[in-house]
Amino acid sequence: MSSWFEASYSPGTRLSLRITRWLCTRRSPYQTIDIFDTDDFGRVLALDGVINVTERDEFIYHEMLTHVPLFVHPRPGRVLVIGGGDGGTVREVLKHPCVEKVLLVEIDREVVAASREYLPALSCALGDPRVDIRYEDAVRFIARPDQAFDIIIIDSTDPAGPGAGLFTADFYRNCRAALAPGGILTAQSESPFFDAATVGQIYAAAGRVFGRPRMYTAFVPSYVSGVWSFLFCADHCNPAADFQSERYQACAAAFRYYSDAMHAAAFALPPWIKHQCAV
């Protein structure tokens, strides 16, 4: 008998993955954490029944969330990662030799512990000496940050659940105040296909704080609808055109989805997304 993990996109659509081996279920104060192996997506981490990362396609999400801002900023030294307790974003950040410090602010220590135990390909960089981890609500942390950051990356769950406070104008305002001059913020910003209204609200909230929030996209097969959007906020730059070519060339071989061409292409948006999400 085989059993299946069913991820609901909506009440009327779901993606089902056949489970080859169940590894763990933990209930933290914030969410239920499930980890299991599948035929097609390798090992999967699900939070409250929603696919969070899969070994097979996590590189797409993490590369695009990370390298787009890091290759626009001329010299990112200090990086704040909010959420992202699996470690995938930190792993990508540390591919940039210019990064001196990464602070990971994750509310749920159980996610980090489970990832360290079961997802070594993601959590492998969490022990790097440049990384500090604080187990704290990022909403509280960002209200009184004790340092400034060149890059802030919001690697959150969906707006329902523990991630809800990470999509508000108040939160973005505090993030902006925590950015050093020339700083850049990126965030995962949901599926423009399945939830255009939510996406529109995210960009409206960011737009009240940053001049013109920009959207870029990538395909992530294990996420709702297969297309995912990312929020890019900065005071002065053209993210599709401003690109640190020399730094990129020095480590281009480290990337599987990201490239100079993909960087520029990701900012091209179908007219329908621009219209539906008002971006």
Over its C-alpha atoms, the chain yields an Rg (Å, rounded) of 18
> Exactly one of 155, 158, 170, 235 is catalytic; which is it?
155
Binding residues for a second copy, rule CB under 8 A, total 43
Task: Report the residue from 51, 236, 261, 279 that binds a second copy according to the rule CB under 8 A.
Answer: 261
Q: Smallest distance from the beta carbon of 122 to a second copy, in angstroms?
A: 17
Residue 49 in contact with a second copy, rule: CB under 8 A = no
Stretch that binds a second copy, among 21-29, 37-45, 99-107, 112-120 (CB under 8 A): 37-45
Which residue's CB is nearer to a second copy, number 20 or number 198? 20
Task: Report the residue from 117, 177, 272, 278 that binds a second copy according to the rule CB under 8 A.
Answer: 272
List binders of a second copy among 159-198 (CB under 8 A).
Answer: 193-194
Task: Report the residue from 173, 219, 237, 243 that binds a second copy according to the rule CB under 8 A.
Answer: 219
* β-pairing verdict for 32-38 and 42-47: antiparallel
Distance CA 255, CA 242 (A): 19
Q: Are 20 and 38 in contact (CB under 8 A)?
A: yes
Residue 266 in contact with a second copy, rule: CB under 8 A = yes
Task: Report the residue from 33, 44, 60, 70 that binds a second copy according to the rule CB under 8 A.
Answer: 60
155 is catalytic: yes
DSSP for 128-155 reads STTEEEEES-HHHHHHS-SS-EEEEEEE
Residue 244 in contact with a second copy, rule: CB under 8 A = no
Q: Smallest distance from the beta carbon of 243 to a second copy, in angstroms?
A: 13
Using alpha carbons, list the distances in angstroms from residue 136 to 101, 104, 246: 18, 10, 36
Which residue's CB is nearer to a second copy, number 3 or number 147? 3
Residue 269 in contact with a second copy, rule: CB under 8 A = yes
Stretch that binds a second copy, among 67-75, 116-124, 156-164, 251-259 (CB under 8 A): 251-259
Burial of 92 (0-12, 13-18, 19+ CB in 10 A): buried
Q: Count of alpha carbons within 13 Å of 175, Cβ hemisphere only? A: 34
Using alpha carbons, list the distances in angstroms from residue 220 to 53, 55, 86, 131, 200: 10, 12, 17, 27, 20
Distance CA 216, CA 269 (A): 7
Q: Smallest distance from the beta carbon of 9 to a second copy, in angstroms?
A: 7
Task: Report the catalytic residues.
Answer: 155
